[in-house]
Structure 1
Amino acid sequence: MIIVFSPLQREFIKQLFDAQTYEGVSFEWVKQEGMKLFFRVNPDEESAVKVAKKVIKASKYGASLNFMVDYQADV
């Protein structure tokens, strides 16, 4: 599971990743808690963090968006 922390454009980020696959990593929306967006990833690897950062940075808001992506192993 990855967590995207973003104070702005959370709906945009949700749409960017929900039910999408980038570089062999599938993303599925799980929930939102405040400014945290939770996505289940398959395969569940830390490399999904790098893919998510790359995708957000390449998006139309990426250059100006303040965000952080973290990995959390599914329990």
Structure 2
Amino acid sequence: MIEVCSAVQQDKIIELLNNYNEEGIQFSFKEKKGINLYFETNANDLEQASKLAKTAIKSQPWGSVLYFRSAPVE
């Protein structure tokens, strides 16, 4: 599972990661707690999955200026 922390653009982050399917990696939104969004992933390497999520968000026009954190959750 990975955690994405962002106070804004949460709906866009959820939509983006739910539709992400590159390199065989997929994400599935599980829950929201405050500004924290939690996603299940089929990736074995959670650190790499977290980096892929961050790259995907940063590649969006709205994500390039977004302040957020993406991290693996055990």
Please tell me the residue identity of whatever aligns with 1:72. V
Q: Which residue of 1 aligns with 2:51?
A: 50
Q: Which residue of 2 aligns with 1:9?
A: 9
What's the offset of the Cα at 1:19? 4.5
What's the offset of the Cα at 1:18? 1.3
Please tell me the residue identity of whatever aligns with 1:69. S
Structure 1: gaps spanning 5 or more residues = none
Q: Which residue of 2 aligns with 1:71?
A: 72
What's the offset of the Cα at 1:25? 1.1
Aligned positions, number: 73
Supply the RMSD in Å over aligned alpha carbons. Answer: 1.2
Q: Which residue of 2 aligns with 1:21?
A: 21
Identity rate, percent? 33
Structure 2: gaps spanning 5 or more residues = none
Please tell me the residue identity of whatever aligns with 1:50. K
Q: Where has structure 1 moved over 6 Å in runs of 4 or more?
A: none
TM-score under structure 1 normalisation? Answer: 0.88
What's the offset of the Cα at 1:60? 1.7
Name the CA distance, whole Å, in 1 between partners of 2:56 and 2:42: 16
TM-score under structure 2 normalisation? Answer: 0.89
